[in-house]
Amino acid sequence: MDSRLTIAGRELAGLRAEKTILLAIGIQLFIAMFSSFLVVGLVSMYDPGALDGAQVEVAAAGDAVDDLERAASEVPGASVTAYPDADAARGAFERNAADAVVVTTRRESGRVSAVVTAPDATVETTVIVVQLRELLRTYELNERDARAPFLEDSPLPLPERSDTSPYFTFTYTVLIPLLVFLPVFISGSLVVDSITEEIDQGTMELLRVAPVTLAEIVDGKAAAAIGIAPGQALIWLLLLEANGTSVANVGPILALMTALTTLVVAVAVGISAVAPDRRAAQLLYSVAVLVLFGGATAMAGGPANAVARLAIDSADAATGVLVVAYAVIAGAAYLGVRRVVAAEGLGR
């Protein structure tokens, strides 16, 4: 056990030279520390509709101004001002009296076309475009309802809109799983780099001269990689709590990610054993992790879904069974790879 701890300590001490790994950890730390601030900007990319409700003044002209004004009354933050013609509306836009312009034309067929003018490449463009989209969508739905009695076939009813906050959805289905699983990938990459570097520089043979077995060397390297993952995740979750994002079931979440880290480390050790070249091993590791997590995510009870359900305290018995199952699979995978490596060696 002392030899394993010595090797693990050596691995942890060498992390200071891994600038790429330290940069990745620093990025995670920044996201976790400023999560409440960053989530607003991130949600705007994840779901621009979250910006609905911003105040936008629209200059409108054409044949359907009255209908647009009625639609604007149903869209929070949208305001439509009628102008006598398109030139007057565009003039208001150029004077900054309006945020956007909508000019509508009703054709003989009964269809209504709309020409929209919005600012080009400004900070407010995304907000304005989102509000314009919501305004025109509301106008379209009103037109459909008005014309429905004249259709030969009744249109299909639209599904009810969800009132779920996009900030809540993004935080618990994207941000928290991201912060929990990134340390998993980093740990596996650390093991690949550590083992392949030892083989490439010939220091693996020097280690084997010492009174330590190959299995103990692997155990020490794996222990260091597995040990830092839950520590990182715990810090990220505590920082989220400090930022006002409540996370339930921290213990089960850490147990799940530790099991997944063990599984990924086992994969990393196996790849390093069969592909001692560092670049080839990292490529194979990346592909293996993508396949592993891609397949797990496709399942109904994937790791990301399990973390999200645990974090919002909506986990059921199946989620608990899933955590135990991952732990058993991870333990069996690591013991199997360890036995093979001890028997066959590394870099052969």
List, for residues 193-219, the tens digit of each pLDDT value: 888 887 777 666 666 666 677 778 888
Distance of CA 212 to CAs 218, 240, 280, 348, Å? 10, 42, 28, 19
Chain centre to alpha carbon of residue 289: 16
- Max alpha carbon distance in the chain (Å)? 92
Going along the chain from its start, the domains and CATH numbers come out as 2-41+166-344 (no CATH), 56-150 (3.40.1710.10)
Amino acid sitting at position 9: G
Quick one: DSSP state of residue 121? S
Dump pLDDT digits (tens) for 131-171.
Answer: 888 888 888 888 887 777 766 666 666 666 655 566 677 77
Distance CA 311, CA 177 (A): 9
Contact 244, 31 (CB under 8 A): no
Distance CA 254, CA 231 (A): 9
- In this structure, the chain runs to a length of 348
Contact 119, 125 (CB under 8 A): yes
**Nearest alpha carbon to residue 277 among 326, 346, 205:** 346
pTM surpassing 0.85? Answer: no
Q: Which of the residue ranges 4-13, 106-115, 118-127 has the most confident prediction, judged by mean pLDDT?
A: 106-115
